[in-house]
């Protein structure tokens, strides 16, 4: 009985470490997917409704925050 309880505790502990590792690798992937585009002024700061990611278009004028699609 004591060995069974110890085995269950060990299994739960190891499983939690695996889950934490997967979350950290997913966060790193999301961070590396974010890429900026080289623009003359700056990149649009809008979030695309369809994908939930930052718009990759460039703004038209200095001081603008949004591209022509998100104005």
Instruction: Give pLDDT tens digits for 56-66.
Output: 899 999 999 99
**9-35 confidence digits (pLDDT tens):** 887 877 776 655 555 555 555 544 455
Q: Tell whether 9 is covered by a domain.
A: no
> Quick check: is 3 in a domain?
no
Q: What's the chain's average pLDDT?
A: 78
Within a domain: residue 71?
Answer: yes
Residue 7 lies in a domain: no
- 2 domain residue, yes or no: no
Residue 56 domain boundaries: 41-71
Q: What share of the chain is helix, strand, coil (3-state, %, to 5)?
A: 45, 5, 50
Could you tell me which residues are beta bridge partners of residue 28? none
Three-class SS of residue 43? strand
Is 48 part of any domain? yes
pLDDT of residue 32: 44
Model pTM score? 0.45
Our count of domains for the chain comes to 1
Residue 67 in any domain: the answer is yes
User: Which one, of 33, 67, 26, 63, lies nearest residue 48 by Cα?
Assistant: 67
Contact between 58 and 37 (Cβ < 8 Å):
yes
Q: Is residue 55 part of a domain?
A: yes
- pLDDT confidence of residue 31: 46
């Amino acid at each position: 009985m004591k060995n069974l309880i110890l085995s269950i505790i060990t299994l739960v502990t190891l499983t939690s470490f695996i889950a934490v590792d997967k979350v950290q690798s997913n966060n790193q992937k999301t961070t590396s997917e974010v890429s900026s585009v080289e623009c003359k002024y700056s990149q649009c700061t809008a979030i695309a409704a369809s994908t939930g990611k930052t718009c990759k278009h460039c703004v038209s004028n200095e001081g603008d925050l949004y591209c022509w699609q998100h104005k």
